[in-house]
Chain A
Amino acid sequence: MYGGGYIQEEKQEATSPIDDAQKLAEFEARIDRGEKIEPHDWMPADYRKQLIRMIEQHAHSEVIGALPEGTWITRAPGFRRKLALIAKVQDEIGHAHLLYSAAETLGKSREQMINDLLTGKSKYSNVFNYPAKTWADVTVIGFLIDAGAIVNQVANSKGSYGPYCRALERICYEESFHLKQGHDAFITLATGTKAQHDMLQDALNRWWKPIMHFHGPPDKISEHTAKLMRWKVKMATNDDMRNQFLDMYVPKILEIGITIPDPNLKKNEATGQWEFSDPDWDEFKRVINGDGPCNAERLAVRQYVEEHGKWVRTAMMNPNQKVVIPFA
């Protein structure tokens, strides 16, 4: 009760599948009052499970997302772009760290999470399984993928789990710089020479499908989604977030003379909903299950890094130290 930290194994008890009805009612009442849930609180096993899955995936996405961009640091056009890209990539790794820490408070260790990433057991954002072939790809990622992520992160920062909200607040602050530098680079190419403009248009043409995939498959309002939204694990449906993203960013793409490679994309003013061609959800499923252009390369890079850093980590380990779940 007043103990200093708590050891990982103790957590198992709290993930029992049998949820106490009275505790569940108190838990839901707390969320309804707009209060946050903290790590040591009682929580339904499914709440814990879904949060770990979501925060862990988010953390992996930051780590893997830094790879296509990191590749371009040496080739960024100009000193200022290079500095900005270095700062952005460092931020992304910092975000991963904040998120792993938040997930750890739920009882899964960082080592376990990274192992699950390496074996392909846990996923990361599907967009990072596509290559960044030119500088314009980095520009599209920096502007539109980050924009999509911000829509998602701003929504989730109002969720019910305290540590995740705290991490996201800081992340959103740094993301505002990512978005702005991406927008700046995007405008520079769009309004530059014909070669620059064409390179950007080509990159956007290739990235449009992954961008439409970004917020996940269309909602089937299932019992499951409804429960996660009631528990404020999910704050908006995939379709709502995609719609909000299109509302905000389609005008910003069109206003500088770039076209969107979907003739059916238009806003239905009556419903407020965007209509678009099927972005090929079969491809989405195929790629997320490992068969994308870069899946193997992304994981191979992580493997390489873990393997070659292992001797440093183990050399500094103190076998007498016990792993304790972080506090907040």
Chain B
Amino acid sequence: MSKIPLNTPVLDPRIKRVDLESTYGTTAIGENEHWISWEVFHQKKRGDQHVHVGIVHAPDAQLALLFAKEQFGRRLACVNLWVTKSSDIFSFSYDDEDIFDNATAPEKQYREASGFRVMEKINRYKKSKQKA
């Protein structure tokens, strides 16, 4: 426990109560002391998907849910939260991003609604009917 002189008279009533100057010491936080991280998924209303909103640190799932409620269910509409350990998330690497390119490739228009033009054909047919 070392003493650190405070420059000005302490203004914080809580600090006066704890007699901060005499209890002050240097604390180092050990690795893992803030526990592991959990990914949080937030459902805004029934019927919506759960959407990833961020992380919390907690020693177990129950506390992770409690912290998630405090952090992500505090201000915005919410009906449900999920948490899962960050270490249990599996993902592709962004280095392989191009494997998804053909999902939106122009040559795949044959499986899009916009890839088919029916009105032109209908109009052409109607015109030919009128002429006949």
Residues of A within 8 A of B (CB): 1-5, 38, 40-41, 67, 71, 74, 90-91, 94, 97-98, 101, 104, 109-111, 114-115, 118-119, 131-133, 166-167, 173-174, 291-297, 299-301, 303-304, 306-307, 310, 313-314, 316-319, 321-328
Contact = CB atoms under 8 A, between A and B. Distances in A.
B41 to A, nearest CB: 12
Interface of B: 4-8, 10-15, 18, 20-21, 23-37, 39, 52, 54-57, 59-60, 63, 70-71, 74-75, 85-96
Contact of B86 (A132, A297, A325): A325
A306 to B, nearest CB: 5
B2 to A, nearest CB: 10
A322 B87 contact: yes
Contacts of A40: 93-94
Given A1-B93, A67-B12, A74-B13, A327 B86 contact: yes
B12 to A, nearest CB: 4
Contacts of A327: 39, 55, 86, 89, 91
Given A40-B94, A109-B31, A306-B29, A4 B88 contact: yes
Contact of B94 (A41, A166, A295): A41
Contacts of B36: 321-324
A3 B7 contact: no
A104 to B, nearest CB: 7
Given A71-B11, A296-B6, A328-B52, A4 B87 contact: yes
Contacts of A174: 75
A257 B54 CA distance: 44
A307 B6 contact: no
A129 B91 CA distance: 43
A317 B35 contact: yes
A293 B8 CA distance: 6
Contacts of A3: 90
A316 B61 CA distance: 12
Contact of A310 (B24, B33, B92, B94): B33
A63 B110 CA distance: 55
A306 B4 CA distance: 16
A328 B94 CA distance: 12
Nearest to A42: B95
Contact of A71 (B6, B13, B75): B13
Nearest to A315: B59
A297 B87 contact: no
